Amino acid sequence: MKLLAIDTANARCSVAVGQGSEILAEYAIDGGYQHAEQLTVLIEQALRTAAVSMTNLAGIVVSAGPGSYTGLRIGASVAKGLAYGASLPLLAVGTLEMMTTGFLAAHKVPDDAVLIPLIDARRDEVFAGAYSVQLQELLSPGPVQLKPDSFDQFSIEKRYFFGSGAPKYSADFGGAGQLFIEEGYEHAKHLLTIGEKKLNAGEIENLAYFRPDYRKAFYTTHKIKSV
């Protein structure tokens, strides 16, 4: 049950081919938002390295947001096009859940820890969610305005913050027992195990209607000329 995984929700553009926890190939480009230019190149490299063709895949799993508006559009468009062309099921996994899976793969934390991935969403906002060590959703993903009490529903000694929004929050508020890590663990390889579970459960996206979870409208610093 080999899957092709695609993540373009943040600055890192990554792909992976694998089966559950077994990763056959993984490639990533960090920074620069080169998703449009590099994504299909990375996919071709990953499939070649894994010695897997599109016809040998069981499905395609993509990070569904929240995250970069443009990045999500690129990832979703490529994933939908490949899935349609190869008649493969499309599976979608929330970006914050993907990040939490990556964090758990890299860190050993107490069983009662609260894992809070944060993605910088401009100004004093982040995209945030909260998960247990068992990946139970404790706070639904969405935009959060950062204040010292933004996450006071969770005990201070149990909170673990990570992702691009973590430094923004730690600059305003720190506390004993809390951990702030800038690394967000955004990588397509962390989609594979969740994607396999969704495939087994029949949680397949409708190609005609699937769209990423943008959460916020497109933002640009360029002035739009009137016509």
Contact 90, 83 (CB under 8 A): yes
| pTM of this structure | 0.91
Peptide bond into 89 cis (omega under 30): no
Scan for tokens 């989609």, then name that residue.
Answer: 191
Q: Is the pLDDT of residue 220 over 90?
A: no
Q: Is the pLDDT of residue 125 over 60?
A: yes
What is the number of other CB atoms lying within 10 angstroms of the CB of residue 13? 29
Spatial separation of the C-alpha atoms in residues 209 and 94, rounded to whole Å? 17
Which residues does 190 contact at the CB level (< 8 Å), separation at least 6?
7, 98, 99, 101, 102, 105
Spatial separation of the C-alpha atoms in residues 127 and 166, rounded to whole Å? 11
Spatial separation of the C-alpha atoms in residues 33 and 49, rounded to whole Å? 24
> What residues form DSSP beta bridges with 85?
none
Say what the pLDDT of residue 124 is: 87
pLDDT in tens, 56-88: 999 999 999 999 999 999 999 999 999 999 999
Q: How many CA atoms are closer than 13 Å to the CA of 8, on its beta-carbon side?
A: 24
Spatial separation of the C-alpha atoms in residues 6 and 31, rounded to whole Å? 16
Beta strands of the chain (E only): which ranges? 3-7, 13-19, 22-29, 59-63, 90-93, 114-120, 125-131, 137-145, 159-162, 179-181
- Mind listing the domains of the chain with CATH numbers? 3-95+186-200 (3.30.420.40), 96-181 (3.30.420.40)
pLDDT in tens, 29-52: 987 778 999 999 999 999 999 999
